[in-house]
Amino acid sequence: MDRVALRGLKARGHHGVFPREREEGQTFIVDLVLGLDTRPAAADDDLAKTVHYGIVAEEVVAAVQGEPVDLIETLAERIAQVCLKHEGVQEVEVCVHKPDAPITVPFDDVTITITRSRA
């Protein structure tokens, strides 16, 4: 399976369990790896035979900006389902970064990484 990666998609969302997170929002960063067969697209040099990663990026940002959820696990699942709606995508790895998580000690990032497939 071939892989198309999108790294560092940024969007502001209002996800989290604390009222401040819901009210003020924060930046979330999403990395995606889409698993698909790119041979048909490459053979014919045809965008219609692969995934349009620009559209996927827009849909993922819309998901992050959308209806708030408590957990980044839930957000990652929502994003995975958005990606799997694209016909050629057989598998997706989603990593959601929450660099401004409400943690009281110094840290660089909080992430959740999930892998989902059509099977």
Give CA angle at 118 (27, 9), nearest 5°: 20
Q: Mind telling me the catalytic residues?
A: 98
Spatial contact of 10 and 28, defined as CB atoms under 8 Å apart:
yes
CA 69 to chain centre: 14
Of 59, 56, 64, which Cα lies nearest the Cα of 26? Answer: 64
42/37 Cα distance (integer angstroms): 10
Environment class of residue 67 by beta-carbon count within 10 Å: exposed (0-12), middle (13-18) or buried (19+)?
A: exposed
